[in-house]
Amino acid sequence: MDELTGMKCEACRTGSPRVDPAEIEMLRTQIPDWLVVEREEIKRLERTFLFSDFAEALSFTNQVGDLAEAEGHHPALLTEWGSVTVTWWTHKIRGLHRNDFIAAAKTDRIAGGVLQS
């Protein structure tokens, strides 16, 4: 994860290359708790983080929002009592880009020791 957390998301344009299956598997070794899911024929990274109450979940959501703004890359965030589901994918290419893995690793770093999952 240290390799990914040390990187910065790059500007992504329509037509930028998606990561290929071999690259996905290599990058996933740095974020093993994330799932690769497919919705609407788009691969995405997804993870649910558990917290003891809504206030902790909301605080985490806001920290991930700050990360998203700093990186210029924005996830889907579902905040519920005691949990936050974070889903990263690159809208412009309708799939996964290295940016998604960078953002997932940085999300894990934010979560740190707060997690129950």
* Confidence at 117, pLDDT banded by 50, 70, 90: very low
Structure tokens at 94: 């309708």
Using CA atoms, how far apart are residues 19 and 16, in angstroms rounded to an integer? 10
User: Which pTM does this prediction carry?
Assistant: 0.89
Domain containing 97 equals: 2-7+16-114
Over the stretch 15-34, which tens digit does the pLDDT of each residue have?
A: 788 999 999 999 999 999 99
| CATH number of the domain that residue 29 is part of | 3.30.1360.20
Angle at Cα 95 formed by Cα 115 and Cα 86, nearest 5°? 20
| Tens-place pLDDT, residues 73-101 | 999 999 999 999 999 999 899 999 999 99
In the chain, the number of structural domains is: 1
Q: How far apart are CA 55 and CA 72, in angstroms?
A: 25
What pLDDT sits at residue 116? 42
